[in-house]
């Protein structure tokens, strides 16, 4: 018996044993989906493929060239497993080289070669293997390989950009990247200031933002980048013109490789870098296959806000004086698109475009709205009188539209929507209203102007006191807007703030001339000071200007909506307020809709207000819109 047992053990000494153990579902998924990008280790798929060939990760780290040659030449794996593994191994080498911080041209060339090899193998896997990308749509491995491609393109493009920063190649010229030749095609990307290349190229994947509730992007093919074309956002150069296109446009970069067969693609040492505007297209054609274009719609906007300095400038802006702005400026949040409708946003008192942080981001994050709209935000001096801001904003908008659409025939110049919060809501209402003779009648009666003085007043002040609805705006949304003023403007804090405000010298001089011209009891001496109402004064319910403008009719061609905050739920709606603006002032008869939201004055940032804005913007597109 003992001999029989001994014989059995002897005979089975070379047998392989199989043991089983349990693993949790979470660990199982992590093991199957973890890869060199997410864990720093090769994926289970790569390790299994390499085991077939008798290779392992440690050997590949020691001798990259021998390992990649074995993977590229083997017939022991089908093309999908071979190319997916080859792409991941090249990426492992690139990441290891990055950690070593390569110096000198040789080190940089080695790194670029590893990234371009990664991208080429991934490109070949996706488009030159027997199955199409749609056949593998539900496979984790394809998602991993797509990520290898996108990351490799991101790193290769930003590395090439740094290498040629300051001495860009001529259009149509190729540049060298180690053994590679790279041709650039960036004609679709429109950069501000007519630049051919940006000052910085920032990977969107490296950016996170505090203050933005959501990051909106589109999964797909390509590297998501932000092209930076200005060091500062609000310097003196910005305000030399009444408008500026975004200095942080979104760009998606693709690397394509020549060849009609797998062998030709894998033998290529040339590649074409193509830059796309993800707002203009959502898919691209590669190797005969239509694939979704990756995009990040938040990073450029977030970077613009982060570098703007709006938070500190807004206070200087309301007080006036040094470093405050003196005229409105129109910011285009994306390169001008003639085929998209325009959303015009106007912030409130002592505020800036930062008032719309999440509003703009949520609009850009809605696929339907993003396809049909572009956002323009107006930054204006909230210390200035409403009458002057109304005129100046009209001029800035008019010059902006005339610059981009001189004939006035583009969709961007028609069916625009204006959205205003607080003081911006009052100004938005003026944009869609007609003054008639309301202001002139009041001025004539108050100043008892005779024919000569009335003619003199008309010659200088007609552009301020006479206006019609701004052409092209057909819908308006007023958010917590004190159309009839607010008693808050008369309290101690507001009066103290008003007394601190310094108005632009030009405004003081102009209103002084008007005051002396209309002084019924005789003009005071030219050197005597004249009290000019500022932005805070104009928001008082006792202010004559706001009382008069509240009577002006909104254009019959404009549909309008109200979003009103209620921070006093215990009282009847008619007597309620949002802490600053009473309901009786924010309410407008004739509004197509009125949304009451339980919140304080800064209601525009609430999810309820943003959902209402989305509803209204979709309504503006008409019944045929998605």
Which two three-digit tokens encode residue 155? 């790193």
Cα separation, 297 vs 256, whole angstroms: 23
Partner residues linked to 174 by β-bridges: 183
Closest C-alpha among 552, 584, 603 to residue 427: 552
Q: Is 78 helix (H, G, I), strand (E, B) or coil?
A: coil
Report the chain's terminal Cα–Cα distance, integer Å.
82
Closest C-alpha among 83, 486, 535, 500 to residue 351: 535
Cα separation, 412 vs 401, whole angstroms: 8
Buried b (16+ CB within 10 A) or exposed e, 311-321: eebbeebbbbe
What's the half-sphere exposure (Cβ side, CA atoms, 13 Å) at 201?
25
Closest C-alpha among 334, 335, 355, 336 to residue 345: 355
The 10s digit of each residue's pLDDT in 297-326 is 999 999 999 998 887 776 666 666 666 788
CA 522 to chain centre: 55
> Looking at residue 30, what is its pLDDT?
72
The 10s digit of each residue's pLDDT in 92-135 is 999 999 998 877 888 889 999 999 999 999 999 999 999 999 99
Alpha helices by DSSP H, listed for 164-289, are 262-267
Query: Cα angle vertex 220, ends 183, 371, to 5°?
Result: 100
CA 425 to chain centre: 23
Cα separation, 294 vs 412, whole angstroms: 25
Give the length of the chain.
Answer: 626
Instruction: Report, in this order, helix, strand and coil percent for the chain, each rounded to 5.
Output: 45, 15, 40
CB 143 within 8 A of CB 133: no
Cα separation, 122 vs 128, whole angstroms: 10
CB 145 within 8 A of CB 125: yes
DSSP 170: P
DSSP 136: G
CB 464 within 8 A of CB 549: no
> Looking at residue 9, what is its pLDDT?
45
> Looking at residue 496, what is its pLDDT?
61
Segments of the chain with pLDDT less than 50: 6-13, 522-526, 528
Task: Name the phi and psi angles at 506, rounded to 5.
Answer: -60, -40
Closest C-alpha among 235, 191, 228 to residue 303: 228
- Give the strand pairing for 243-245 and 270-276: unpaired
> Looking at residue 169, what is its pLDDT?
77
Buried b (16+ CB within 10 A) or exposed e, 520-539: eeeeeeeeeeeebbbbbbbb
Cα separation, 35 vs 43, whole angstroms: 4
Query: Cα angle vertex 223, ends 222, 225, to 5°?
Result: 135
CB 242 within 8 A of CB 394: no
Alpha helices by DSSP H, listed for 164-298, are 262-267
Give the alpha-carbon dihedral of 49, 51, 55, 57, to 10 degrees: 80
CB 569 within 8 A of CB 537: no
Partner residues linked to 289 by β-bridges: 286
Task: Name the phi and psi angles at 91, rounded to 5.
Answer: -70, -40
Domains parsed from the chain with CATH numbers = 30-164+172-299 (no CATH), 321-570+577-621 (3.40.50.1820)
What's the half-sphere exposure (Cβ side, CA atoms, 13 Å) at 605?
15
Cα separation, 370 vs 365, whole angstroms: 7
CB 225 within 8 A of CB 303: no
DSSP 537: H
Partner residues linked to 115 by β-bridges: none
Those residues whose C-beta lies under 8 Å from the C-beta of residue 473, and which sit 6 or more positions away, are 344, 416, 417, 418, 431, 432, 558
Phi-psi region of 231 (alpha: psi -120 to 50; beta: other; left: phi over 0): alpha
Q: Is 587 helix (H, G, I), strand (E, B) or coil?
A: coil
């Amino acid at each position: 018996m003992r001999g029989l047992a001994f014989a059995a053990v002897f005979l089975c000494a070379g047998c392989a044993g199989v043991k089983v153990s349990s693993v949790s579902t979470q660990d199982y998924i992590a093991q199957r989906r973890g890869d060199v990008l997410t864990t720093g280790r090769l994926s289970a798929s790569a390790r299994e493929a390499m085991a077939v060939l008798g290779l392992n990760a440690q050997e590949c780290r020691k001798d990259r060239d021998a390992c990649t040659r074995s993977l590229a030449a083997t017939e022991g794996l089908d093309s999908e497993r071979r190319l997916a593994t080859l792409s991941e191994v090249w990426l492992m080498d690139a990441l290891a080289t990055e950690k070593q911080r390569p110096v000198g041209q040789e080190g940089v060339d080695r790194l670029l070669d590893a990234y371009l090899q990664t991208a080429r193998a991934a490109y070949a896997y996706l488009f030159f293997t027997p199955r199409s990308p749609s056949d593998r749509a539900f496979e984790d491995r394809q998602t991993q390989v797509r990520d290898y491609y996108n990351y490799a393109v991101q790193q290769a493009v930003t590395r090439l950009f740094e290498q040629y920063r300051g001495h860009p190649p001529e259009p149509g010229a190729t540049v060298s990247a180690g053994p590679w030749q790279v041709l650039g095609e960036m004609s679709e990307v429109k950069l501000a200031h007519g630049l051919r290349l940006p000052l910085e190229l920032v990977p969107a994947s490296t950016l996170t933002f505090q203050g933005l509730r959501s990051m909106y992007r589109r999964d797909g093919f390509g590297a998501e980048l932000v092209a930076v074309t200005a060091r500062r956002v609000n310097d003196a150069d910005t305000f030399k013109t009444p408008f500026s296109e975004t200095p942080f446009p979104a760009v998606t970069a693709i690397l394509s490789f020549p060849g009609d067969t797998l062998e030709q693609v894998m033998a290529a040492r040339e590649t074409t870098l193509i830059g796309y505007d993800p707002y203009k297209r959502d898919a691209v054609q590669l190797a005969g296959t239509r694939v979704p274009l990756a995009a990040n719609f938040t990073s450029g906007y977030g970077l613009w806000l982060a570098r703007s300095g709006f938070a500190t400038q807004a206070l200087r802006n309301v007080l006036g004086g040094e470093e405050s702005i003196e005229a409105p400026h129109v910011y285009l949040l994306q390169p001008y698109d003639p085929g998209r409708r325009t959303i015009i946003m106007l912030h409130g008192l002592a505020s800036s475009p930062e008032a719309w942080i999440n509003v703009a981001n949520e609009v850009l994050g809605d696929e339907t709205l993003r396809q049909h709209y572009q956002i323009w935000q107006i930054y204006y001096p909230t210390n200035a009188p409403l009458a002057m801001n109304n005129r100046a904003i009209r001029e800035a908008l008019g010059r902006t539209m005339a610059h981009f659409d001189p004939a006035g025939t583009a969709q961007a110049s028609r069916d625009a929507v204006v959205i205003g919060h607080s003081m911006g809501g009052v100004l938005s209402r003026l944009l869609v209203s007609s003054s008639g003779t309301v202001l002139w009648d009041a001025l004539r009666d108050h100043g008892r102007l005779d024919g000569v003085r009335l003619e003199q007043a008309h010659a200088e002040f007609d552009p301020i006191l006479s206006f019609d609805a701004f052409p092209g705006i057909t819908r308006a949304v007023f958010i917590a807007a004190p159309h009839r003023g607010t008693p808050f403007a008369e309290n101690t804090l507001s009066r103290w703030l008003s007394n601190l405000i310094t108005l632009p010298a030009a405004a003081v001089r102009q209103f002084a001339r008007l005051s002396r011209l209309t002084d019924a009891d005789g003009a005071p001496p030219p050197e005597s000071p004249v009290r000019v109402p500022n932005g805070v004064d104009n928001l008082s319910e006792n202010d004559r200007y706001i009382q008069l403008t509240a009577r002006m009719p909104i254009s019959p061609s404009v549909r309008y909506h109200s979003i009103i905050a209620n921070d006093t739920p215990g009282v009847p709606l008619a007597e309620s307020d949002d802490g600053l603006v009473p309901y009786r002032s924010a309410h407008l008869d004739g509004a197509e809709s009125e949304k009451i939201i339980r919140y304080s004055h800064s209601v525009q940032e609430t999810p309820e207000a943003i959902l209402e804005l989305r509803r209204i913007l979709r309504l503006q597109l008409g019944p045929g819109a998605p």
